[in-house]
Amino acid sequence: MLASPQLRAFNDIRIRFVSGAGRDAAAASGIDVTARLRCDQRGSFVEFVGHFSERDEAPAPFQEQFYLQRCQIFRIGPSTQLWIVNTVEDEANEAVYPRTFTAEFKSEESSDTFFDAIHSPNKGFFLSFETEVITEDDVSVAAMKLPNGSTEVAKDSSKFDKKIEASSAKMYFHYYGQLLHQQNMLQDYVRTGTYYAAVVENRADFQGRVVVDVGAGSGILSLFAAQAGAKHVYAVEASSMADYARKLIAGNHVLSQRITVIHGKVEDVELPEKADVLISEPMGTLLVNERMLESYIIARDRFLVPGGKMFPGLGRIHMAPFSDEYLFVEIANKALFWQQQSYYGVDLTPLHNAAFQGYFSQPVVDAFDPRLLVAPPAMHSLDLTSMKEEDLYDIVIPLTFTATMAARVHGIACWFDVLFNGSTIPRWLTTAPGAPTTHWYQLRLVLSQPLYVMAGQTITTRLHLSAHSAQSYTINLSMSTTSWGAGAGQGATIQSSSGKFDLKEPYYRMSQMPAYTWTQEQQLQDGAGVSLQGAQMSPYGA
């Protein structure tokens, strides 16, 4: 008989059981353990030793050993592993049942060392990653090594890290790691209600299916998918909100047995199986701000089975010229400060032109009256089921409008909608002016030099969006009008105007149309205007 020497011990590991019964269910909140790498005549195994408490009872000892030839181990985060173990229940007939748990290490280095140790051939540790069908809560789950790469998280810079500034990513994930900002999005009842309806009204797309929630945030969409009967949901979240998502999901015990929260980026993590459905809320201001659509498409290419469903699967940007003299004057007046010739004895006028252009370089985010539009809107579609990630790096949208009235055109108004193309009931989520207001509002690009148009005159427009490393876009807008009417010549350009905007730095305009017409008496009682919840407006527009 072989001796069973202790090869190595790893401390400060917390394991959480995802599936199983009895003590596994009692220990779902987590057990702090030490892992010992050992071997005997049956092979190499990992022994976990620790204590756990069940409700108000005294801590009980915990000791389990798992033979590596019966384990499938996946890296699902920098310091987190997913273990799927076929445990022998009956030595006589070798009957097995699955147990699934996550192992959370104190550091990425500790996780790497442990993972390398159990894969090291010179120590006799061999793992089987053959595809096999196991059972989780009486539901068949295919557990396999993904064909799109190693089960390890790449140790070099990920695709996300290579294209996004570290400082921008840090601020971004810090923002979405806070509950108050998640609450702002959850309280957008148009957004949350539409997602809920899209899922529960299309149960046929979720029932018995594997779902991946991309950028899960609080985990609300994962819970919706579980409510609709999903076999298992993998909630992938890169920010520290993953910890809150675990708590929220654990508090909904009936659903929690079918949801696994994975802390990491979709560009980096590996999953033990492919997904039948992707669900996500990747939309930012103007649909593309934050560049999360790219991560959504990467998740599609890495995890979605051919022909799988995407919620949403189509996005559309709508654009139309508008006329808003009040907005134009409001922006222009901001630069009046720099026209002072003796500000504490200092002449500020040398900076006036730069300040004037600076204010006009900010996209305006607010809700506006659709009657301000001077032409029917045009549309640019993004098919999220088939487009390439690189298609989002540089977006050129040529547009032609025909004015329906004589007006001074101040720029282009934009909004978006997305389609949840469910098998039973397709659902649209829109941010259009005149529709119920969402936390995305609408967006307007205001030119510092307006154009004058007459009814029937053509307005030629070009919108060019260039992605940058601060998770947003630089927008170049050009608009021009041509001669028109009888004897107007060959349609030569008679006016043109252009502007450059940074989608990362919008102007959140704290005013909104009232929901109904107020009487003069109501205005005197309640104030002259209706304010948006300005403190709740996201700087990221998601």
- The b-or-e profile of 267-304 (16+ CB within 10 A means b, else e) is bbbbbbbbbbbbbbbbbbbbbbbbbbbbbbbbbbebbb
Tokens 């594997």 correspond to 210
Is 136 one of the catalytic residues? no
Element (H, E) at 411: strand 407-420
Return the structure tokens found at 521. Answer: 């008496």
Q: Are 353 and 285 in contact (CB under 8 A)?
A: no
CB neighbours of 487 closer than 8 A, spacing ≥ 6? none
Decide: helix, strand or coil at residue 272: coil
Strand partners, 380: 317
Strand partners, 311: 279
Return the structure tokens found at 445. Answer: 């690009």
- Cα 441 from Cα 292, distance rounded (Å): 18
Tell me which of 104, 290, 325, 330 is the catalytic residue.
290
Phi/psi for 107 (5° steps) reads: -150, 165
How do strand 364-366 and strand 507-508 relate by DSSP bridges? parallel
- Residue 274's Cβ-side half-sphere holds a number of Cα atoms within 13 Å equal to 15
Tell me which of 64, 237, 281, 294 is the catalytic residue.
281
Distance of CA 266 to the CA centre of its chain: 10
Q: Are 45 and 39 in contact (CB under 8 A)?
A: yes
Angle between helices 166-176 and 179-186 (to 10 degrees): 70
How do strand 314-322 and strand 80-90 relate by DSSP bridges? unpaired
Return the structure tokens found at 248. Answer: 């929220």
- Cα 457 from Cα 401, distance rounded (Å): 8
Phi/psi for 525 (5° steps) reads: -75, -40
Return the structure tokens found at 52. Answer: 């756990």
Sign of CA dihedral 227, 217, 231, 104: negative
Return the structure tokens found at 281. Answer: 């809320």
The amino acid at residue 532 is: L
Distance of CA 41 to the CA centre of its chain: 49
Tokens 């540790």 correspond to 125
Question: What is the end-to-end Cα distance of the chain in Å, rounded?
Answer: 62
- Residue 30 CB: number of other CB atoms within 10 A? 17
Tokens 């409008």 correspond to 401
Q: Are 135 and 97 in contact (CB under 8 A)?
A: yes
Question: What are the angstrom distances between the C-alpha of 309 and each of 195, 357, 377?
Answer: 14, 45, 29
Q: What torsion do the CA atoms of 37, 43, 49, 52 make, to the nearest 10 degrees?
A: 130
Is 505 one of the catalytic residues? no
Active-site amino acid positions: 281, 290
